[in-house]
């Protein structure tokens, strides 16, 4: 006798039925629309291209192993099959793309773990326990989707007059609808506690959390693999250096293992210093490992020599301007954070922060504002002034910073000299007054900087 679908957790709620109806209508529309049909097939083919198909297969195998382990300790049973498949199709597939973010920002791994324990996970679980009548769900689902799309579009149109007011109205509407849905859910759950709270309900709540925590190592290892694949592409594209690329990959694997940051440093150093031989790769790895030790216990730097690179990196940390690691280039030692947006406008003004010097000390700091005349230039200037004063406070002291900045403004673009340090403010314009822009720089240069004027 075949088992009923409910035994596998496939007793669909009205919300899930409404979702399936709309997905079916969307799929039918795509298949019947002649102009869109070829594009849809291209997307499907791209999704199952050999490299991605192998990734989906490995991911599915990993999830299956996780489920088997949970079943062994009685944390998974067949009634949890539906929620497991839903997690696999939605969160599982989409979270694979977290590997790209993790590759670019290795410290994001801690955030992935924290996200699993947020209060929102409990709130949304209770909201999903119950649903409205089917006709309400059929009306509510497209309304919520449209509202979300309107907000997403509005957030990218903040430079239009009245956009902020419309966005505020949409946010309040979204909050009100969310409050109604949550209130209805909590009321039903509270009125039927014995019906909703059971051992299987607890499994349904804990299952996504456990699967996500068990899936994070897979995402991390995928990020490591992607890092190694991309790190030495520039060498592989040069036939004479293909053997060097293979050597660099294996040396990096033994030197750094799953340390994504170390592999990225080696790739950057080899590219920027044009290292194309095995000895150069070996020396670069040695230097990176040595600098890791220096960063753990930075040596003090006398003011007569410049500023500590390991302190200067964080001079503007409160504004999100923390540079990459201080490293050697072909000409000098350098670190920077090239572009931080001041707002979310389409043509947002951006601020950059640069350090230059020798191995032991930073001898030149530069703060740069890349602004557009289409934005509020006074607002951008205020943001630049605040950061410039903070930087001067770090390099001199709080008492003199305001005086030095005022003097630099009055003597712009000529440099002023204080304690053997040159402070310069300058501005260069491009384009016209309406569609053009400008670059504003504050440069603080120690007298020991090479090539000083």
Residue 156 CB neighbours (<10 A)? 12
User: Does residue 2 carry a pLDDT above 70?
Assistant: no
Higher pLDDT pick, 380 / 163: 380
Name the one residue in this structure whose structure tokens are 């301007």: 321
Whether 354 has a pLDDT exceeding 90, the answer reads: yes
pLDDT(185) > 50? yes
State mean pLDDT over 222-229.
89
- Its pTM stands at 0.74
Examine the pLDDT at 416 and tell me if it is beyond 60.
yes
DSSP string for residues in 297-329 = SPPP--TTT-B-HHHHTTTBGGGTB-----EE-
Note the pLDDT tens digit of each residue in 253-275.
999 998 999 999 999 998 888 88
* pLDDT at residue 335, as a whole number: 96
Structure tokens at 95: 């979270």
**Higher pLDDT pick, 162 / 175:** 175
Q: Is residue 46 packed enough to be buried (19+ CB in 10 Å), middle (13-18) or exposed (0-12)? A: exposed
Tell me which H or E stretch contains 191.
helix 163-191
- CB of 289 closer than 8 Å to CB of 268: no
- pLDDT, residue 386, reads 95
Cα 373 to its chain centre, rounded Å, is: 29
Give percent helix, percent strand, percent coil of the chain, each to the nearest 5: 60, 10, 25
What is the per-residue pLDDT across 199-220, written as a single tens digit (0 to 9) for each? 566 666 677 778 888 988 998 9
270-295 in b/e burial notation, b at 16+ Cβ within 10 A? beeeebeeeebbeebbebbeebeeee
Lowest mean pLDDT among 46-55, 68-77, 252-261, 287-296: 46-55
Instruction: Decide which of 189 and 37 is more confident.
Output: 37
Lowest mean pLDDT among 115-129, 196-210, 429-443: 115-129
Question: Distance of alpha carbon 181 from its chain centroid, rounded?
Answer: 31
Return all residues near 127 (Cβ < 8 A) that are at least 6 apart: 181, 182, 185
Per-residue pLDDT at 124: 58
Lowest mean pLDDT among 17-21, 322-326, 357-361: 17-21
pLDDT band at residue 283 under the 50/70/90 scheme:
very high
Burial degree of 231 (CB within 10 A; 0-12, 13-18, 19+): buried
Output the pLDDT for position 116.
62
């Amino acid at each position: 006798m075949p088992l009923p679908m409910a035994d596998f957790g496939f007793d669909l709620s009205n919300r899930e039925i409404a979702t399936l109806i709309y997905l079916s209508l969307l799929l039918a529309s795509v298949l019947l629309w002649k102009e869109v049909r070829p594009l849809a097939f291209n997307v499907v083919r791209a999704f199952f291209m050999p490299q991605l198909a192998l990734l989906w297969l490995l991911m599915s195998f990993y999830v299956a192993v996780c489920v088997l382990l949970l079943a062994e300790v009685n944390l998974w049973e067949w009634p949890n099959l539906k929620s497991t498949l839903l997690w696999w199709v939605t969160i599982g597939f989409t979270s694979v793309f977290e590997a790209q973010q993790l590759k670019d920002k290795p410290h994001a791994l801690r955030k992935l773990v924290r996200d699993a324990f947020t209060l929102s996970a409990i709130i949304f679980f209770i909201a999903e326990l119950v649903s409205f009548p089917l006709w309400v769900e059929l009306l509510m689902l497209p309304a919520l989707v449209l509202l979300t799309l309107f907000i997403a579009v509005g957030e990218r149109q903040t430079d239009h007059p009245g956009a902020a007011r419309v966005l505020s109205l949409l946010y309040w509407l979204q909050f009100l609808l969310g409050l109604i849905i949550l209130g209805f859910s909590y009321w039903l759950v509270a009125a039927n506690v014995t019906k909703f709270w059971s051992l299987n309900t607890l499994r349904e709540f804990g299952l996504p959390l456990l699967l996500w925590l068990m899936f994070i190592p897979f995402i991390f290892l995928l990020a490591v693999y992607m890092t190694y694949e991309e790190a030495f592409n520039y060498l592989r594209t040069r036939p004479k250096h293909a053997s060097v690329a293979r050597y660099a990959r294996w040396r990096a694997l033994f030197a750094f293992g799953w340390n994504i940051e170390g592999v990225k440093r080696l790739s950057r150093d080899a590219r920027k210093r044009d290292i194309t031989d095995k000895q150069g790769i070996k020396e670069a790895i040695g230097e990176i490992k040595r600098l890791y030790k220096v960063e753990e216990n930075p040596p003090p730097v006398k003011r007569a020599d410049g500023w500590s690179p390991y302190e200067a990196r964080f001079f503007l940390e409160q504004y999100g301007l923390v540079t990459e690691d201080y490293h050697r280039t072909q000409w000098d030692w350098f670190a920077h954070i090239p572009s931080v947006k001041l707002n979310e406008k389409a043509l947002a003004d951006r601020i950059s922060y640069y350090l230059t010097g020798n191995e032991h000390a930073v001898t030149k700091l530069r703060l740069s504002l890349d602004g557009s005349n289409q934005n509020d230039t006074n607002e951008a200037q205020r943001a630049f002034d605040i950061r410039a004063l903070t930087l001067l406070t770090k390099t001199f002291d709080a008492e003199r910073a305001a005086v030095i900045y005022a003097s630099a403004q009055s003597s712009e673009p000529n440099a002023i000299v204080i304690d053997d340090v040159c402070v310069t403010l300058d501005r260069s314009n491009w384009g016209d007054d309406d569609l053009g822009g400008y670059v504003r720089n504050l440069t603080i240069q120690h007298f020991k900087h090479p090539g000083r004027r």
